[in-house]
Structure 1
Amino acid sequence: MATTNKYLNIFQELSKDIENGVYESNTLLPSEHELCERFSTSRETIRKALTLLSQNGFIQKMQGKGSLVLDVSKMTFPVSGLVSFKELQESLGRDIKTDVHKLELNEAPEQLASQLECDEGALVWEIVRARTIQGERVILDKDWLLQSQVPSLTEEICSDSIYAYLENHLGLNISYAKKEITVESATEEDRVLLDLEGYSHIVLVKNFVHLEDTTIFQYTESRHRLDKFKFVDFARRRK
């Protein structure tokens, strides 16, 4: 194990232990001394690994007590950020799969035209994708994109990263999104395409996504199983 990367490897091993329940939430990790012995390394290296665990939400350092393991059964989704699911997958480092259930080009009905600020009857891509995380289908993403901005789409693109395709191949400058978060009753589609485990409601995140020139080109409904996710933001008080 290279010395320069040793703390990263220790972080990865301990984070997997926490995710797999080796260290349960609300219990303490072994002491720094015990971890030094386990990994045959210095206290400085262990402290670097613990700092990474703290920064990524796995532990809370308690002065004079040690490192308290936090509940990681809920995945953290940023409210303010505008990231693709693939980018989120890479940052979380979890076993994630996307299944494309629908890819169609249709005329926009009145309500959708209003949401996309386009003419009724304009051509719109409709994509329905289920996201499987750690073996459970817990997110249903429903996207509508204006064909005037996105001339073509394939199932392969949709199962990988639509945003990577839009930015790297079409040269679109995706800029910002307005978001709405509500809790709603699960639909029949939710019950068929998600593993709801008896939950009757879902967390619904609506995204109205704009290009750099302020043009709206995408409307998204991201439907999340209640027990698996928390949404976070950073707020600073203005005086």
Structure 2
Amino acid sequence: MNRYMEIFLDLEQAILDRKYKPGEKLLSENKLSQIYGVSRETIRKALLLLSEKGYIHKQQGKGSVVLDTAKMDFPISGLTSYKEIFEESGISNRTRVVSLEKTTHYENMTHDMFPFNDEELWVLVRQREIAGEVVLLDKDYLLAEMIPELTKETAEDSIYEYFEKDLGLDISFAQKEFTVEPTTEEDRRYIDLLPNDTHVVVVRSQVFLQNAQLFQYTESRHRLDKFKFVEFARRKKQLHT
């Protein structure tokens, strides 16, 4: 392995372990070259890779500032599971099941996007923990006739992997709504909110199979400081006459 790659991996682990906290500066190139016993050029290669991977921001004449690696990018138009996102990121995470039940009683669901009426549903509530903090509460409502069995162990791993590989469901597309809403008692109970947090980002989704069968409604409640939502946008060319 190249020496600069070894240094990159060492610094990456230090950032992930919070030895360098977000907003702090890394040691200078001169200091790092002394510590690792290599040239500044080798250090620059390692720092460039850290910058490309989103761990640091290099400021001309001011050094390298550590970025918040616990802030995840959630694609707006994509349909990606929580497990898939975090397998790509390498950030430590954990899912805990708050409750799981099969029921026809969900009278309190009055939002316009909630699509079910009297059907039997799996109601699954999960906490999502990143780097030791619960920053997301997921509430899933799943059509029981499509999903005959669902266990806590499966819910703590990946329900989409189970749906697609074990049940053969062909998950295809979703319609989503993004809002910023005041925190609720449930948010304050299950999310590690900051002292001044008064609002959360709420993402509501209707999820469909390839045959256009709606089988899932999800409400995800995100702590404001830990998530950003990203999309690639291209301006449509206008025809001028």
Residue in 1 that maps onto 2:77: 80
Unpaired segments of 5 or more residues in structure 2?
none
2:157 and 2:9 map into 1 onto residues whose CA distance is: 25
1:68 and 1:205 map into 2 onto residues whose CA distance is: 31
Residue in 2 that maps onto 1:204: 202
How far residue 48 of structure 1 moved from its aligned partner, in angstroms, is 5.0
1:220 and 1:42 map into 2 onto residues whose CA distance is: 52
How far residue 134 of structure 1 moved from its aligned partner, in angstroms, is 1.7
- Deviation readout 1:76-129 (Å, 9 max, x if unpaired): 3332332211222222322322111111111265757974645x2111110001
Residue in 1 that maps onto 2:216: 218
Q: Superposition pairs for residues 66-215 of structure 1, below 5 Å?
A: 67-72=64-69, 74-107=71-104, 115=113, 117-118=115-116, 120-198=117-195, 199-215=197-213
TM-score normalized by the length of structure 2: 0.81
SS of the residue corresponding to residue 80 of structure 2 reads coil
1:24 and 1:155 map into 2 onto residues whose CA distance is: 34
Residue in 2 that maps onto 1:38: 35
2:207 and 2:39 map into 1 onto residues whose CA distance is: 48
SS of the residue corresponding to residue 190 of structure 1 reads helix
2:63 and 2:111 map into 1 onto residues whose CA distance is: 55
CA contact 1:104–1:127 (8 Å) conserved in 2: yes
- Deviation readout 1:22-42 (Å, 9 max, x if unpaired): 3652635532x6545534557
Unpaired segments of 5 or more residues in structure 1?
none
1:211 and 1:42 map into 2 onto residues whose CA distance is: 55
1:200 and 1:63 map into 2 onto residues whose CA distance is: 37
RMSD: 3.0
Check 1:114–1:197 CA distance in 2 against 1; reply closer, same or farther (3 A cut).
closer
User: 1:30 corresponds to which letter in structure 2?
Assistant: S
User: 2:219 corresponds to which letter in structure 1?
Assistant: E
CA contact 2:20–2:66 (8 Å) conserved in 1: no
TM-score normalized by the length of structure 1: 0.82
User: 2:217 corresponds to which letter in structure 1?
Assistant: Y
SS of the residue corresponding to residue 122 of structure 1 reads coil
How far residue 131 of structure 1 moved from its aligned partner, in angstroms, is 1.4
CA contact 2:203–2:221 (8 Å) conserved in 1: yes
2:172 and 2:40 map into 1 onto residues whose CA distance is: 43
Counterpart selection for 2:8 from 7, 11, 17:
11
CA contact 2:70–2:91 (8 Å) conserved in 1: no
SS of the residue corresponding to residue 192 of structure 2 reads coil
Check 1:14–1:202 CA distance in 2 against 1; reply closer, same or farther (3 A cut).
same
How far residue 17 of structure 1 moved from its aligned partner, in angstroms, is 2.9
SS of the residue corresponding to residue 179 of structure 2 reads strand
Check 1:47–1:101 CA distance in 2 against 1; reply closer, same or farther (3 A cut).
same
How far residue 65 of structure 1 moved from its aligned partner, in angstroms, is 6.2
SS of the residue corresponding to residue 193 of structure 2 reads coil
Query: Which has the larger displacement, 209-218 or 146-155?
Result: 209-218
Check 1:8–1:178 CA distance in 2 against 1; reply closer, same or farther (3 A cut).
farther
Identity of aligned residues (%): 50
Check 1:197–1:41 CA distance in 2 against 1; reply closer, same or farther (3 A cut).
same
Alignment coverage as a number of residue pairs:
234
